[in-house]
Amino acid sequence: MKVTVFGVGYVGLVQASVLADVGHEVCCVDVDQDKVDRLNQGLIPIYEPGLEPMVRHNHDAGRLTFTTDAAAGVHHGKVQFIAVGTPPDEDGSADLQYVLAVADTIARHMDSPKVVVDKSTVPVGTADKVRQRIASVLKERGADVAFQVVSNPEFLKEGAAVADCMRPDRIVIGSDDEVAIEVMRELYEPFNRQQERTVIMDVRSAELTKYAANCMLATKISFMNEMANLAEKLGADIEAVRRGIGSDPRIGYHFIYPGCGYGGSCFPKDVQALIRAADGIGHDAKILKAVEQVNDDQKTVLMRNIRRHFGDDLKGRTIALWGLAFKPNTDDMREAPSRVLLAALWEAGARVQAYDPEAMEETQRIFGHRDNLVLMGTKEAALKGADALVICTEWQAFRAPDFDFIQQELRQPVIFDGRNLYDPERLAKRGFHYYGIGRGLSINQE
């Protein structure tokens, strides 16, 4: 099938390459000339495991092309995916300007029937807006071309995006049009071979499904962080509690890890957008507001612990920071807890020696060159002469470090662990001051 994907970001690029990989002919359109040029040279703008070889392979085979020529893109695909960003507006609601700009573009150039697919995460009612936009531009043009608008939200996880798209848990298709549903079924047929994963529903339910999924996951995290803060004050160990509740299949082990807050391009923005959407219809989304508040607060937990240990003034202190990306296996720094920590450390006068396996370039791009941030080539180098080690991201490479080496390199044996990677008792026996999240032991040490 001929498919066009507007927007080659995390979602668009991954979805496009996976569709090309099963044999569809995919044309990607982006407004970012530099990104398109780089992709045409085989340079992948983001880090995502397995993505680079897949893009190269399908690009070389001619099934995956990249262009800024929107007219050619519209002409190419029977299916037109809209996979552009929906960043927060000033008030936190989803900004639809990019989605609607693509709708305009499609309407301006289309001269054959199209199925237009909202892949971006968009508020309930957006498919209607896209439909109206396309219809009004077609009317202006005096063109009579059939089209349907389908909602097909994306559930991929950054860091496992290719695998998620290859073997999705579910493929949600929101439409009440039989023709459009059949086209979508045919498009996704290769992904349904082992079992049927398609869930067909009306458009509005599909749009809400995406927000409900992300808000549920964010709720689990904030709930667990609230329990962690309670555990800390009550002298309990949240890690024991986590195992104790996770064994109940109604709760499960997934997404109940306490930590220094959730970040990324989706949870913070989608929770906020649903709060605003609810406000807009006079509904006070109390749970979601609490989820957001707990998370904002949780992003300051590492700094609170650092202050507890060193006091408020960190002038002359050097902090070794492991992990900058908002989660492992990505270079994405959007809304990362590390950014809140960095700002607070700098404000208190500290200097940071940081290391991340993938997000160093992105960090450099965001913060540029500054005296109080030194990006180190290895996790070991980041330790040298630092007053303490802080862990912000649970990369695999940080899970079993050489603690003797850490002790030898740090000026003081202090670890602030934002992801509960280590065993507090074992570290205490080695002579470390260890601050985890929600672990009574760190309090008992004082």
Binding site for ligand NAD (CB under 6 A): 6-12, 29-32, 35, 83-86, 98, 101-102, 120-121, 154, 156, 158, 265-266
For the bound state, the minimum distance from the C-beta of residue 393 to ligand NAD, rounded and expressed in Å, comes to 16
Cα gap 200→198, rounded to integer Å: 6
Our CB check for ligand NAD shows the closer of 85 and 174 to be: 85
Q: Which amino acid is at 44?
A: I
Asked whether the beta carbons of 260 and 337 are under 8 A apart, the reply is yes
Cα gap 66→5, rounded to integer Å: 9
For the bound state, the minimum distance from the C-beta of residue 85 to ligand NAD, rounded and expressed in Å, comes to 4
Q: Where are the beta strands (DSSP E) in 292-445?
A: 318-322, 351-355, 373-375, 388-391, 414-417, 433-435
Query: For this structure, is 266 an active site residue?
Result: yes
Our CB check for ligand NAD shows the closer of 6 and 434 to be: 6
Q: Residue ranges of the alpha helices (H) in 247-370? A: 267-280, 286-298, 301-310, 337-347, 360-367
Our CB check for ligand NAD shows the closer of 165 and 238 to be: 165
Asked whether the beta carbons of 110 and 35 are under 8 A apart, the reply is no
Our CB check for ligand NAD shows the closer of 124 and 345 to be: 124
For the bound state, the minimum distance from the C-beta of residue 443 to ligand NAD, rounded and expressed in Å, comes to 36
Our CB check for ligand NAD shows the closer of 49 and 349 to be: 49
Taking 3-state DSSP, the helix, strand and coil percentages for the chain, each rounded to the nearest 5, stand at 45, 15, 40
Our CB check for ligand NAD shows the closer of 39 and 375 to be: 39
Copy the structure tokens of residue 4: 């066009």
For the bound state, the minimum distance from the C-beta of residue 257 to ligand NAD, rounded and expressed in Å, comes to 18
Cβ-proximal residues to 179 (8 Å cutoff; 6+ apart), any chain = 115, 148
For the bound state, the minimum distance from the C-beta of residue 72 to ligand NAD, rounded and expressed in Å, comes to 13
33's torsion region: left (phi>0), alpha (psi -120 to 50) or beta?
alpha
Copy the structure tokens of residue 118: 């909202």
Dihedral sign from CA coordinates of 357, 360, 361, 365: positive
Our CA dihedral for 414, 419, 421, 425, rounded to 10 degrees, sits at 50
Cβ-proximal residues to 203 (8 Å cutoff; 6+ apart), any chain = 127, 128, 149, 150, 151, 174, 175, 176
Cα gap 224→258, rounded to integer Å: 5
Cα gap 190→19, rounded to integer Å: 9
For the bound state, the minimum distance from the C-beta of residue 208 to ligand NAD, rounded and expressed in Å, comes to 14
For the bound state, the minimum distance from the C-beta of residue 163 to ligand NAD, rounded and expressed in Å, comes to 13
Our CB check for ligand NAD shows the closer of 10 and 322 to be: 10
Q: Of 27, 165, 266, 392, which one is the catalytic site residue?
A: 266
Our CB check for ligand NAD shows the closer of 217 and 321 to be: 217
Q: In this chain, which residue has its C-beta nearest to ligand NAD?
A: 9
Cα gap 253→241, rounded to integer Å: 11
Per-residue b or e along 292-311, where b marks 16 or more CB atoms closer than 10 Å to that residue's CB: bebbeebbbbbbebbeeebe
Asked whether the beta carbons of 223 and 242 are under 8 A apart, the reply is no
Which residues are marked as active site?
A: 266
